[in-house]
Amino acid sequence: MFTRIDHVGIACRDLDAAVAFYRSTYGFEVAHEEVNEEQGVREAMLRVSGTDDGGASYLQLLEPVRDDSPVAKFLDRHGEGVHHVAFGTGDVAGASAAVAGRGVRVLDAEPRPGSMGSRIAFLHPKDCGGVLTELVQAAGSGPDPEGS
């Protein structure tokens, strides 16, 4: 059902500085940047490797663009660091339903837009051993009820 660590989401106060750190220290390059207005973040995806399901693993660097965004609140409480872990799946709606059936609260009743055209759902960290967990269906993979 879950085929890869799609990404590790990392909260930072200065996206450009974080990108510069990961590039200069480890050689990771930016595959994509975007602003997600709904989540209130500016983000960069740094590709680490391809995976055996044909997908890839990324670091997702997240800078809040408004003070009331979840990532801004995380930074206020915890400071910079790991914000969430995301698992890749070919069917985020099916995987969300399966996980919900096992007693985990799914925070998104319907999958919503994630990075790079993906569809995502978040799980409640209190049901996941303190780990804010995201399920990701990459763009162009798996079923798409909107037919886009």
Residue 78 designated active-site:
no
Is residue 46 within 8 A of residue 31, CB to CB? The reply is: yes
* Among 65, 82, 107, 116, interactor with a second copy by CB under 8 A: 82
Cross-strand pairs, 82: 10
Is residue 120 within 8 A of residue 50, CB to CB? The reply is: no
Name the residue nearer to a second copy (CB basis): 38 or 52: 52
DSSP 54: S
Nearest approach in angstroms of CB 148 to a second copy is 27
Residue 99 lies near a second copy (rule: CB under 8 A): yes
Nearest approach in angstroms of CB 47 to a second copy is 11
Task: With residue 14 as reference, give the H or E element that holds it.
Answer: none
* Separation CA 18–CA 108 (nearest Å): 28
* Separation CA 74–CA 110 (nearest Å): 24
Q: Write down the catalytic residue from 39, 43, 83, 137.
A: 43
Name the residue nearer to a second copy (CB basis): 24 or 148: 24
Residue 129 lies near a second copy (rule: CB under 8 A): yes
Residue 33 lies near a second copy (rule: CB under 8 A): no
Nearest approach in angstroms of CB 111 to a second copy is 17
* Among 38, 68, 109, 130, interactor with a second copy by CB under 8 A: 130
* Separation CA 8–CA 59 (nearest Å): 5
Active site residues: 7, 43, 60, 84, 134
